[in-house]
């Protein structure tokens, strides 16, 4: 999952970005409002964490511009303003959530996760595909009752496929949602990670769950066809 | 109130005048009838000597003296044809039995030429007249008292009515506290005499409301500004503690926290300084401004060397002033710190100070990026920050309170500050504060020592 973080207090911004990366998210970080809007327009984010008071363009203006252009990127506002009217304003503009500074880290992560689940119409905490179980909150994976150990990247890939279970997901979509802009991985990295996932999830089990749709991409599904 | 008293006093005076006029008219009439009665006596006309010396009737008492006494002055010349008596004196006498009489002394010219003039003292009891006058006095006094009572009653009613807006005003004043400073006294409902007072009270409320609003706004801004560094501190620590890390990662996290904690410390100090500024009264003192400027330049040099900025001093050998040294130091240090920070490597910061008449002028000039004209009017507002595109990540490291404090210090010293800036060239802050000392240098040295 790829998250945009826009916060002009440098140390806070870096800590949020580092923390979210450790949670397995691909994070793009900016300190500036104009840049945040530009990035949100060209990249496809699963969630944008925006400070309200950003230099050059404030969070409200960014959200307004995005929604006017039909961009539905979910937005979570970080705000130092706790007046009711400020919160209402953000929500009225189409924000998905807001957190008042200083916030609890676990709460920020939980809300980002919830926003991403809603974004992919996945209301439940766990996704089940045949005998594969993915717990989105604890980030644990079981197949046929056995725990499967995945690296952060592998988990992120599986989570993305699971959130769009039954849908064909293209390589470029996977790339967009799993890697931030500073990532310099080679272009076949998606195929490489699909290979790792298959060896951990499908090799010793039946039915096979990760399928290749030639020329289109990949799909996580209990049915082969 | 005053009008009613006036009306009542006029009624009383009017009553008195009416009484006096009535009394004199009645008396004149009474005298006239007495004279008529005397003249009606036929003896007086033809044979005044035939009159009895004293004649008393039930009513009147007539005393006739044919010889004009030596103590009664008579008119020297009497008109020949004047047969009527001349009134020589009039008055009241109280005779035996306590009865009051009106007494007239009348002089009758002789009826015939060569005859003796006659002096007639005629007294007549005034019971009826007195009783009429007494009744008149009584009824006038009664009327006056009634009018007084009525006036008092009306006055009480009127004043109670006049006091109603006052008590309403008192209620409004009683309701005003720091949450309801927008209340105002309705001056139009008050008696005209109280309107200026109400106006001044409203002006005072206006001033208090304005300064309270400013203070509230500052407090709101300050608490808003506190949230972000606190959030940074907490988030950095929480993220760092999520999993075990190498020592270097902890060091990095702690260093990040330290810089946020320093920012918080500066914010708290500034807040306290600002809060204290309004309450603590310091004493102004004589000191050498040149020495102070050199100290500030020394401190600024410590910041300037790592930034590869040169400090240029343009300070006279001695410049005695009498002002508040701590505030002046705060002003100069803040401006020099800014000048070093917003500069380019290889740039300069010049500190220039001199006496301008009775004022001390300090000019601090940098070779930084300059400030766009639209920002200049806002520079002294609390929490105002000018963001430069290239260092926006550092914009938040500044609270935007330095110049706000500089401004409040300058104002407290009764001084002014002018900003001259050209984008791409640099900025000069020109501060003028009063306080150049006219004291003799040796006396100054002694007082500093």
Looking at per-residue pLDDT, the higher value among B65 and A88 belongs to A88
- Considering only CA atoms, which of B49, B77, B84 is closest in space to residue B64? B49
B312 pLDDT higher than 90: yes
CATH architecture designation of domain B282-448: 2-Layer Sandwich (3.30)
DSSP A205: S
Name the β-bridge partners of B430: B363, B418
Dist CA B189 CA A114 (whole Å): 61
Q: Which domains does chain A have, with CATH numbers?
A: 2-119 (3.40.50.2300), 126-220 (1.10.10.10)
Question: Which residue has 């004009």 as its token pair?
Answer: B68
A contacts of B228 (beta carbons < 8 Å): 9, 12, 80, 101
Every domain of chain B and the residues it spans: 2-71+81-134, 193-276, 282-448
B contacts of A80 (beta carbons < 8 Å): 224-225, 227-228, 231
Mean of pLDDT over chain B: 79
A4 pLDDT higher than 60: yes
For chain B, give the percent of residues with pLDDT over 70: 80
| pLDDT tens-digit map of B414-435 | 899 999 999 989 999 999 999 8
CATH fold of B193-276 reads Helix Hairpins (1.10.287)
Confidence of residue B190 (pLDDT cuts 50, 70, 90): confident
B contacts of A76 (beta carbons < 8 Å): none
Q: Searching chain B, which residue's CA lies closest to the CA of residue A52?
A: B228
Dist CA B368 CA B349 (whole Å): 9
B347 pLDDT higher than 70: yes
A27 pLDDT higher than 90: yes
Candidate from B9-13, B94-98, B164-168, B310-314 with smallest mean pLDDT: B94-98
B contacts of A78 (beta carbons < 8 Å): 231
pLDDT at B66: 47
| pLDDT tens-digit map of B247-275 | 999 999 999 899 888 888 877 877 777 66
pLDDT at B80: 42
B227, B253, B396 ranked by CB distance to A10: nearest: B396
Residue B397, phi then psi, degrees to nearest 5: -75, -10
pLDDT at B42: 62
Terminal Cα distance for chain A, rounded: 26
CB contact under 8 A, A19 and B239: yes
DSSP B436: B
| pLDDT tens-digit map of B327-346 | 888 889 889 988 998 899 99
**Complete DSSP assignment for B111-178:** SSTTPPPEEEEEEEE-HHHHHHHHHHHHHHHHHHHHHHHHHHHHHHHHHHHHHHHHHHHHHHHHH--T
B446 pLDDT higher than 70: no
Contacts of B264 (CB under 8 A, 6+ apart): B226, B229, B230, B233
**B429 to B349, B360, B426, B434: CA distances (angstroms):** 11, 14, 10, 17
B contacts of A86 (beta carbons < 8 Å): none
A55, A78, A108 ranked by CB distance to B387: nearest: A55
Is residue B93 within 8 Å of residue B101, measured between CB atoms? yes
Rg (CA), chain A: 18
Q: Searching chain B, which residue's CA lies closest to the CA of residue A6?
A: B393
Q: Which of 254-293 (B) contact A at CB < 8 A?
A: 256-257, 259-260
CB proximity B389 to A under 8 Å:
yes
Q: Assess whether the previous peptide bond of B196 is cis (omega < 30° from 0).
A: no
Q: Which of 319-348 (B) contact A at CB < 8 A?
A: none
A48 pLDDT higher than 90: yes
Dihedral of alpha carbons A31, A33, A38, A41, sign: positive
Helix (H) or strand (E) holding B309: none
């Amino acid at each position: 999952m790829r998250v945009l973080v826009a916060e002009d207090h440098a140390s806070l911004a870096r800590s949020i970005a580092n923390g979210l990366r450790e949670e397995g998210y691909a994070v793009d970080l900016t300190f500036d409002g104009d840049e945040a809007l530009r990035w949100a327009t060209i990249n496809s984010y699963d969630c944008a964490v925006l400070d309200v008071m950003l230099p050059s363009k404030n969070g409200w203006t960014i959200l307004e511009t995005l929604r006017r252009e039909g961009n539905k990127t979910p937005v979570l506002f970080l705000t130092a303003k706790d007046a009711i009217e400020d919160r209402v304003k953000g929500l009225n503009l189409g924000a998905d959530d807001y957190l008042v500074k200083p916030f609890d880290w676990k709460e920020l992560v939980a809300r980002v996760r919830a926003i991403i689940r809603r974004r992919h119409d996945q209301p439940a905490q766990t996704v089940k595909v045949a005998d594969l179980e993915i717990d989105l909150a604890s980030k644990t994976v079981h197949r046929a009752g056995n725990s499967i150990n995945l690296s952060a990247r592998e988990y992120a890939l599986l989570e993305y496929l699971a959130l769009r279970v039954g849908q064909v997901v293209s390589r470029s979509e996977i790339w967009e949602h799993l890697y931030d802009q500073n990532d310099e991985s080679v272009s076949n990295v998606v195929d490489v990670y699909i290979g790792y996932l298959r060896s951990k999830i499908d090799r010793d089990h039946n039915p096979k769950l990760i399928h290749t749709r030639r020329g289109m991409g990949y799909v996580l599904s209990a049915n082969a066809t | 109130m005053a009008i009613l008293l006036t009306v009542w006093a006029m009624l009383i005076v009017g009553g008195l005048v009416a009484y006096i006029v009535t009394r004199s008219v009645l008396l004149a009439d009474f005298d006239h009838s007495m004279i008529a009665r005397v003249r009606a006596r036929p003896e007086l006309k033809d044979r005044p000597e035939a009159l009895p010396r004293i004649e008393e009737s039930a009513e009147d008492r007539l005393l006739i003296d044919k010889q004009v006494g030596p103590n009664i002055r008579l008119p020297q010349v009497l008109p020949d044809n004047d047969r009527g008596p001349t009134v020589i004196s009039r008055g009241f006498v109280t005779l035996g039995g306590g009865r009051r009489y009106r007494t007239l002394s009348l002089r009758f010219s002789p009826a015939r030429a060569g005859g003796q003039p006659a002096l007639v003292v005629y007294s007549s009891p005034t019971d009826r007249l007195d009783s009429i006058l007494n009744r008149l006095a009584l009824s006038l006094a009664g009327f006056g008292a009634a009018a007084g009572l009525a006036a008092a009653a009306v006055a009480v009613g009127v004043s109670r009515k006049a006091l109603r807006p006052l008590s309403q005003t008192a209620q409004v004043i009683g309701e005003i506290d720091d949450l309801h400073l927008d209340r105002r006294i309705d001056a139009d409902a008050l008696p005209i005499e109280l309107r200026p007072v109400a106006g001044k009270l409203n002006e005072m409320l206006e001033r208090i409301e304005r300064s309270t609003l400013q203070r509230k706004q500052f407090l709101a801004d300050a608490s808003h500004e506190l949230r972000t560094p606190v959030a940074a501190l907490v988030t950095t620590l929480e993220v760092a503690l999520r999993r075990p890390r190498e020592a270097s990662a902890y060091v990095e996290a702690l260093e990040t926290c330290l810089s946020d904690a320093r920012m918080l410390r500066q914010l708290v100090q500034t807040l306290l300084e600002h809060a204290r500024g309004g309450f603590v009264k310091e004493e102004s003192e004589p000191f050498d401004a040149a020495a102070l400027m050199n100290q500030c330049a020394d401190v600024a040099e410590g910041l300037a060397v790592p930034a590869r900025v040169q400090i240029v001093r343009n300070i006279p050998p001695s410049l005695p002033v009498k002002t508040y040294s701590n505030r002046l130091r705060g002003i100069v240090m803040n401006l020099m710190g800014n000048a070093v920070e917003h500069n380019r490597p290889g740039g300069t910061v010049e500190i220039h100070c001199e006496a301008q008449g009775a004022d001390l002028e300090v000019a601090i000039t940098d070779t930084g990026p300059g400030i766009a004209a639209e920002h200049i009017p806002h520079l002294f507002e609390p929490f105002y920050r000018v963001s430069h595109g290239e260092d926006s990540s550092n914009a938040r490291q500044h609270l935007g309170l330095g110049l706000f404090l500089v401004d409040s210090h300058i104002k407290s010293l009764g001084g002014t500050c002018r900003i001259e800036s050209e984008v791409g060239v640099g900025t000069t802050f020109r501060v003028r504060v009063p306080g150049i000392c006219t004291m003799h240098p040796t006396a100054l040295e002694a007082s500093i020592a």
